[in-house]
Structure 1
Amino acid sequence: MVMGLLGHPAFAAENSSTPSRTLIIWFSQPEEMKPDAVDGFSGASVLQKYTPETGSTQFVAQLIQKQTLGDLFRLETATPYPRQHDALLRVAEKEQQTNARPSLKTPLPDLSNYDTIYVGYPIWWYTMPMVIYSLFEQNDFAGKTIIPFTTHGGSRLADSLRQIARMQPQARLVTRALSISRNDVSGPDVPVQVEQWVKQVQPQR
């Protein structure tokens, strides 16, 4: 059924008196680079306005968490990615060319505790990072509502909705996914944009 998703430290719901049924999985790779060094091939990975340590996808995931009071989970690979932009670009390209499936550093929390799962990722080389393929191929999201969101350098959602639907045919995929350009993610209107989007896509309980 297709309908119109984002850590270690991983789980934190703020000021919630009842267990959250929403999980926000996010993958983001902060980079050590100058602001003008990013290009459209790797997509936005770093949010320069705040600190080089805050990835763009991480920032959006935190905004979603404020709205949903969901649990945050940072998706990390067993082998860390390089922090230098050019080196990261080469690794991401090689992973795509070899159809790699990077191993996850930490298992996901028990998905039976969640009904709605946001999944956030940058767009690298016009598709999802290969670790997102690992995520969806190695875990069962059947019966869950998956709500994707991306940060990108021009590719928007690329082919990610089609790929997620292919890998998780028994999930309810929200196709009204959020995509924010790296040029806009630090703008003053983004928190309101995210808030309005969450209200549109978050299932009512």
Structure 2
Amino acid sequence: ILRKILIAYYSHSANTKRLAKLISNKVNGELFKIEAENAYPVNYNEVVERAKKEIKEGYNPDLKIQVKNIEQYDTIFIGTPNWWNSIAPPVVTFLKSIDFDEKKVIPFCTHGGGGFGSIEAQMKKLCKNATVLEGFAAYGGTSNELQLEEWLKKVD
């Protein structure tokens, strides 16, 4: 059976995008950029305010596009920045729109010191019927390629 791998990610400052591309190159997966219809401001303080409010209110922004033919993928890496211990709201919207029956979900995140926070637990809750594997957390824009490769071997 040919496995199809999707790497879906949301990235505001390019850190998560960089990690998604690294993973994609190593596992030969297709990249899918999760984008909010109403893009987040570039200004850091404005992003902080909007994202904090959305997370607190449980708001899920509409997305620009959805993945076509999600059923063709059996493994889905899901990347998000750690925003206040949480999954970025556009990623929550994405997760709520998918049927994860018989899919393997592999979370990854970038953070400024908070590690995974409650992201793995949230993913397990949102990805009903999926097998959620151990995730990978990278600090900022750095990623230790050796650690990344060891993690990928573990979750393969």
TM-score category, normalised to shorter length? over 0.9
Could you tell me which residue of structure 2 aligns to residue 199 of structure 1? 153
Could you tell me which residue of structure 1 aligns to residue 100 of structure 2? 141
Could you tell me which residue of structure 2 aligns to residue 24 of structure 1? 7
Which SS does the other structure have where 1:134 is aligned? helix
Could you tell me which residue of structure 1 aligns to residue 55 of structure 2? 96
Q: What per-residue deviation string (whole Å, max 9, x for no partner) do you get for residues 109-150 of structure 1?
A: 211111110001101112111112111112111110000001
Q: Which amino acid aligns with 2:135?
A: A
Q: How big is the alpha-carbon RMSD for the aligned residues of Structure 1 and Structure 2?
A: 1.6
Could you tell me which residue of structure 2 aligns to residue 181 of structure 1? 139
Could you tell me which residue of structure 2 aligns to residue 51 of structure 1? none
Structure 1: tracts of 5 or more residues without a match: 1-18, 31-54
- Indicate the structure with greater helix content: 2
Q: Report which stretch shifted further, 193-202 or 100-109.
A: 193-202
Q: Does 1:162 align with 2:129?
A: no
Aligned pair count?
A: 156
* TM-score normalised according to structure 1 size: 0.72
* TM-score normalised according to structure 2 size: 0.93
Q: Percent identity?
A: 28
Deviating above 6 A after TM superposition, structure 1's stretches of 4 or more consecutive aligned residues are: none
Structure 2 Cα separation of the partners of residues 66 and 196 of structure 1: 15
- Whose RCO is larger (CA < 8 A, sep 6+)? 1
Q: Is the 8 A contact 1:111 1:141 kept in 2?
A: no
Bigger radius of gyration, 1 or 2? 1
Equivalent residue for 1:80, pick from 39, 51, 57: 39
Equivalent residue for 1:124, pick from 83, 95, 98: 83
Structure 2: tracts of 5 or more residues without a match: none
Could you tell me which residue of structure 1 aligns to residue 21 of structure 2? 62
